[in-house]
Amino acid sequence: MRTTALRNSTLTLLVLAAVGVGCLVGPLVVEQVGYALATGENRAAREQLAKLSGYDRMSELYRAVAKAVKPAVVVVHVRKKIDMSGHPSVGDMDEFMKRYFGRSPYGNRTPGRTPGGETPKREYFSSGVGSGVIVDASKGYILTNWHVVQGADEVEVALLDGRRIKTEWVRTDQKTDIAVVKIKADRLIDAPLGDSDKMGVGDCVMALGAPEGLPQTVTAGIISAKGRTTGRRGYENFLQTDAAINHGNSGGPLVNMKGQIIGINTAIVSRTGVNEGIGLSIPSNMVRNVMRQLIDKGEVVRGYIGVHIQDVDEQLAKSFELPNADGVLVAGVAPSGPARDAGMEAGDFIVNVGARRTKTVNELRNYVAELSPGQSVKVKLYRDGKLKTVTMKIAKQPDDMLSAFNAPQRKAKAIKKLGLEVITATGEAAEKYGFDKTVKGVLITKVTPGSDAEKNGLASGQLITKVQGKAIASADDFNKAVASAKAGGIRLLVKDKAGGQRFVFIEFSKS
């Protein structure tokens, strides 16, 4: 019995010991097994990744595009001179010193002047940074934005190799926010302009530049949309991209996967002022035309047909018996110009200009602007529900578009006799000079320096309502009244935009 009990006790102790060892060693074994499994899975994932990465061509493509384009990308440094001479802060300091210290730091001399009595120049420079891209290495032409170089006294570009070169000239077009600068340097590398019309939504693009002053930054994304407008500038047809664009990127290129420039980065749409994934780029096909004119002529000459235009909705299209809303409605025709000469009328619905389909106001405006003055084009339009074609000769866009749409204005023949010129106070012209559009009379547009009219305080923008006590309503009325006057001068009733009016007698010039 004792032997059997001893044997049982020994077995029990061995079992308990085994259980105890198992409790201690078991978790370690499980952990080791789990680690082995995880390591195996990771190794398998790595092996799979190594295999799949062999199919990755995008990284290689992005790398090649960046390598090809980066040498053409420059940083544009601008300096603007600020004249602080005569700034009120000088006088403010003088008063402060007198009040609290009982004396002026300027002694007996006038604040802001030297002991000799001269006004010293107090000039400062503000600096800014933008981006640009070389588009012609042989001639040193670089594209950037108008708003980058606007008002700059000095413009300098920094190249990829570290050289900083001052520009020979800067030419700009505010209406498209395009600028071309020229430098003289060797060993330049350029990037070609591509065809922005061939880009589609979803196409891969890269933006290059110096965002926040960080040179040679490359970001990637896609074309998010085409034909975007903001209404802030005269001519817009932006490419929208989600490639990151921030302050300093302005003027840099947006390129396709062939390394071609398909846009010049110009703005972002953001509530915070920094990138939110909505960048805007001027399409290369618009850039190309503007750039060529700036280089060849120093300015941009745009086509003009002389119409007020608007987009239409479905209801408006139906009321005009139009097949659809894809076109541009003529709301008004200028008193003179290509459209008037071609017989166009308010209510005409333009669907084609030349070979170009024009579905929106923006498309029509941009396309006409690209046409050369003197060029003849056929315009397809609907009138009274019927399709017809007219031919018109493109004119040069006038500097003052507002005056071009006013009624024909005959200048007063009395310019030499009275020393002033007038136009009929039509609604738009009256509002332009600050008057109610319902006023009647003639607006003074020019006063001869040294004339009796100038001596009597007449100036451009004033309104003449009566001549010799008789109300006038047009430049023709004014001309007739002056021509019929027999005395050595004439009495005018003149009104200013503040509402004041007075009688003035102007002597006729003897010359």
Per DSSP, the residues of 197-257 read: GG--TT-EEEEEE-GGG-TTEEEEEEEEEEEE--SSSSS--EEEE-S---TT-TT-EEE-T
Closest CA to 488 of 510, 468, 508, 467: 508
Within a domain: 102: yes
Within a domain: 420: yes
Within a domain: 19: no
Identify the domain boundary among 401, 428, 454: 401
Give the separation between CA 139 and CA 143, rounded to whole angstroms: 12
Claim: this prediction has a pTM higher than 0.75: no
Q: Residue 487 to residues 414, 421, 506, 511: CA-CA distances in angstroms?
A: 14, 20, 11, 16
Give the separation between CA 345 and CA 306, rounded to whole angstroms: 11
Give the separation between CA 389 and CA 77, rounded to whole angstroms: 51
Cβ contacts of 57 within 8 Å, gap of 6 or more: none
Instruction: Let me know whether 207 and 309 are in one domain.
Output: no
Instruction: Let me know whether 364 and 414 are in one domain.
Output: no
Tell me the residue length of the chain.
511
Please tell me whether residue 339 adopts helix, strand or coil conformation.
Answer: helix
Per-residue pLDDT of the chain (511 residues), as tens digits, is 555 555 566 556 555 555 555 555 555 655 676 667 677 788 888 888 888 878 888 899 999 999 999 999 999 999 987 765 555 554 455 555 555 555 555 455 555 555 555 555 666 677 889 999 999 999 999 999 999 999 899 999 999 999 999 999 999 999 999 999 999 999 999 999 999 999 999 999 999 999 998 999 999 999 999 999 987 777 899 999 999 999 999 999 999 999 999 999 999 998 888 889 999 999 999 999 999 999 999 999 999 999 988 988 888 888 888 889 999 999 888 888 899 999 999 889 999 998 889 999 999 999 999 999 999 999 999 998 899 999 999 999 987 776 666 655 445 455 667 888 888 888 777 877 888 878 889 999 888 888 888 888 888 889 999 988 889 988 888 888 888 877 678 888 999 887 788 888 888 876 5
Instruction: Let me know whether 296 and 309 are in one domain.
Output: no
Classify 253 in phi/psi space as left (phi over 0), alpha (psi -120 to 50) or beta: beta
Q: What angle do CA 425, 428, 431 make, to 5 degrees?
A: 80
Q: How many other CB atoms sit within 10 Å of the CB of residue 96?
A: 13
Within a domain: 80: yes
Total domain count, the chain: 3
Query: Which letter does DSSP use for residue 193 in this model?
Result: B
Give the separation between CA 417 and CA 482, rounded to whole angstroms: 9
Instruction: Let me know whether 471 and 356 are in one domain.
Output: no
Instruction: Let me know whether 136 and 188 are in one domain.
Output: yes
- Chain centroid to Cα 38, Å, comes to 56
3-class secondary structure per residue, 33-46: HHHHHHHHHHHHHH
For residue 308, indicate whether it is catalytic. Answer: no
Q: What angle do CA 321, 322, 325 make, to 5 degrees?
A: 135
Residue 55 has phi, psi (to 5 degrees) of -95, -5
Q: What angle do helix axes 361-370 and 284-297 make, rounded to 10 degrees?
A: 30
Q: Which domain holds residue 413?
A: 407-507
Q: Which helix (H) or strand (E) holds 444?
A: strand 442-447
Please tell me whether residue 49 adopts helix, strand or coil conformation.
Answer: helix
Instruction: Let me know whether 257 and 139 are in one domain.
Output: yes
Closest CA to 429 of 415, 418, 445, 413: 445
Annotated active-site residue in 177, 190, 242, 452: 177
Within a domain: 320: yes
Within a domain: 17: no
Is the CB of residue 206 less than 8 Å from the CB of residue 244?
Answer: no
Give the separation between CA 349 and CA 307, rounded to whole angstroms: 11
Instruction: Let me know whether 99 and 227 are in one domain.
Output: yes
Where residue 91 sits, what CATH number does that domain have? Answer: 2.40.10.120
Within a domain: 40: no
Annotated active-site residue in 131, 196, 224, 250: 250
For residue 203, indicate whether it is catalytic. Answer: no
Instruction: Let me know whether 440 and 378 are in one domain.
Output: no
Instruction: Let me know whether 376 and 484 are in one domain.
Output: no
3-class secondary structure per residue, 284-306: HHHHHHHHHHHHHHCCCCCEECC
Annotated active-site residue in 77, 131, 147, 474: 147
Where residue 434 sits, what CATH number does that domain have? Answer: 2.30.42.10
Q: Tokens in use for 130? A: 């933008």
Within a domain: 42: no
Closest CA to 278 of 209, 223, 235, 332: 223
Instruction: Let me know whether 258 and 158 are in one domain.
Output: yes
Is the CB of residue 409 less than 8 Å from the CB of residue 425?
Answer: no
3-class secondary structure per residue, 343-395: CCCCCCEEEEECCEECCCHHHHHHHHHHCCCCCEEEEEEEECCEEEEEEEECE
Give the separation between CA 98 and CA 108, rounded to whole angstroms: 12
Count each helix (H run) and each strand (E run) in the chain, helices first.
Answer: 13, 27
Instruction: Let me know whether 323 and 285 are in one domain.
Output: no
Give the separation between CA 460 and CA 458, rounded to whole angstroms: 7
Identify the domain boundary among 300, 321, 351: 300
Q: Tokens in use for 61? A: 């493509």
Q: Give the pLDDT of residue 38.
A: 75
Instruction: Let me know whether 167 and 276 are in one domain.
Output: yes
Tokens 């003149």 appear where?
494
Identify the domain boundary among 401, 427, 456: 401
For residue 197, indicate whether it is catalytic. Answer: no
Strands 217-228 and 253-255, by their bridges, are: unpaired
Tell me the pLDDT tens digit for each residue of 443-470. 998 888 888 888 888 888 899 999 888 8
